[in-house]
A and B are shown apart, each in its own frame.
Chain A
Amino acid sequence: NAGVMQNPRHLVRRRGQEARLRCSPMKGHSHVYWYRQLPEEGLKFMVYLQKENIIDESGMPKERFSAEFPKEGPSILRIQQVVRGDSAAYFCASSPVALDSYEQYFGPGTRLTVT
């Protein structure tokens, strides 16, 4: 099963620490999207990346958050100096192209808890 893979599935960090979330897209997919899901809310778009390029980061907070998708290896969502409000489920999705007729396939998510 070559689905979207995310790790870790659960991550606990103390306030002020860094969180690194990893995402490997489906085989053959070169477009990666990160979404955040807060309790009782739908998923919210954060950032869209292609290999070595950030295409759209309009949904990502300007401070403390960054994302990358290197030529080799998984996409990384990095949150520096985490605060309690960062606690959420973070999902990665991938698609073969980035057109509005193409479906995005989601990974199982990383549940971040900030204590």
Chain B
Amino acid sequence: TQLLEQSPQFLSIQEGENLTVYCNSSSVFSSLQWYRQEPGEGPVLLVTVVTGGEVKKLKRLTFQFGDARKDSSLHITAAQPGDTGLYLCAGYAGDYKLSFGAGTTVTVRA
């Protein structure tokens, strides 16, 4: 059983469209991180959210942390083929061990 549930599992969209990836849990997290992983590579950290209700923007990417610190979302505006990859959310539930979601595979078609 995954501590963090990600949805959808797969997402395929046309270039220029928007997309949202969700990360949900019944547990409270002290912080939550989003990573992007490309085939054959390790996860690359995109952002860390710490405060409930926090919103962070990274160019066309917007990250939200739920008020109760149990969920998060990643929104990409005007997606580009370079956004293609596996998006992983991960969080600390009280210790140093990161718990990961299973990931959302995003494909942006040109």
Contacts and interface: CB of A to CB of B under 8 A. Distances in A.
The 5 A-B residue pairs whose C-beta atoms are closest, nearest first, are: A100-B92, A42-B100, A106-B42, A98-B96, A43-B100
A44 B42 CA distance: 14
Contact of A107 (B42, B95, B98, B100): B42
A69 interface: no
B30 interface: yes
A72 interface: no
Interface residues of A, number: 29
A61 B35 CA distance: 26
B96 A105 contact: no
Nearest to A97: B96
B102 A101 contact: no
A100 B100 contact: no
Contact of B102 (A42, A95, A109): A42
A81 interface: no
B2 interface: yes
B45 interface: yes
Contacts of B30: 100-101
Contacts of A65: none
A100 B88 contact: no
Interface in B42-89: 42-45, 48, 50, 88
B33 interface: yes
Nearest to B103: A42
